[in-house]
Structure 1
């Protein structure tokens, strides 16, 4: 009896106080975050030299990786673009499944299914005369939607940071989450759409024969043919074809306006599809409101590195730190 009572008393003394458990569960989200930061600070106290080494390793790896990627892109641009596109397609899928982001997964699946069909049509031989227009319509739609989502997301973030959400009684976290998600969707699918459009443009133009990625074209271009789609530029009333506006580049080659805009803006090509003379995009896009598309395209190209290669760089840094015992 005495031994049992002693064990019970010891258990009571070793058990944490009841009021501490209750007070811990009653902490607000901000207090919980502050408590975690305090614990993190105590855990890392006294490891300043280790942190300096980890920072040096991170920046050194980042610089070396940037140099390697730039050289790879300049010398082997096609393989660089394919590997980058593959990583952009797979890396978000991994995090989506791991973090149970089913909404993004459903949109990713729908985008992948339709884009796979478009890619299949663009790589078929012989190439249908309607395929180039179908391809550019799809990727132009993706481009416009991504642009709209990106602008809405950016405005939502600015709206929240400026405190305007208080006037509409909107929760700050909900408003910020909406802005970040919209901005991410816009940028991600904008990058993916432009990369797939570039691949389709190369395949279609090479199949038609008026363009070659490396070397001379296999066909000579006449004045009445659009080198992008391979169809007649000017169609008579009794002939079958497309009647639309035309556009003449500074090299005097004439194309369907829709085709050359799709080639340059959506397909990321800045040269003539036939002679490869540089295209003046500012002259092509005379409307000042449309010139933002050029800047948006440049932003997408820059963000490709962050989405595709930054996770790999961080993984390499983590591996180096682990091998050196820096944790």
Structure 2
């Protein structure tokens, strides 16, 4: 940089400037000189100790093995406490921000706890950030519980059962971590609670747990993958069937959709039952209209996440088994039993997390 003519520096001309990579190296070298210690993690820990107790303290935890840092402040704790009691909280994870150091090093993920901005049209507000290469339920749970502990220190035990609703993608790591931290239940027990509520076994007015919800855009992205693989000839019909399930407002509606879909897609032959239930699906689709969802820039997770055996899975299996299949007549053009089988195994067991029930 010192070799550049003064006029070039003042004009900002890039023609005689070093390459972008060289400039990045220079910038990194200058920042490195300002560190309190040559070791990055020790330097971060020293910064934490230096700012400890101040209102501007952002760095909260530094982990050596596996490497990771946690960031939030008293101000973001305050924002979270105020917003989460009346609006939705999001837990998101992305691995595209930080590049891997080498082909053998584990990828770094950034986990962020985000609340919506009260100002319409304004950007969401990240209230806590976790950068780590450890993508396990234990790791993410530690992050969320550390954040929750600091919030309880500020606001007392009344902060334990916040927020009212949390949305995340379909990652089992996130689902389990949220359930453990904010609901104080395992994911299996939480799904059982939800089942008891929608079946009337548990009074909804006494239900005081946060609502865990899977992002519908991620679900529909997973649905596209499933339909493309097992419903190629009738892709749109499969997607509309998913839409009907997602728009159901009670268990009875879901049963009706699933029963008709089972008859249409599992009957080896085409008869009166297939015609009747196909028409029923068409009528339901016309009533619901087009399902709008945002899926741009969303990378679908592997939909083959097994949440274990749930009461909801057993309930829907009974619905599938009592479907009146057509066994005589011409071949069924809509025959796709694998679609229903995978729907029942990978989506319906945790349907209370992504439908409107």
TM range, smaller chain: under 0.3
**Bigger radius of gyration, 1 or 2?**
1
Q: Write 1 or 2 for the structure with the bigger share of helix.
A: 1
TM-score of the aligned structures, taking structure 2 as reference length: 0.23
Q: Write 1 or 2 for the structure with the bigger share of strand.
A: 2
Q: Which has the higher contact order (CA 8 A, sep 6+)?
A: 1
TM-score of the aligned structures, taking structure 1 as reference length: 0.24
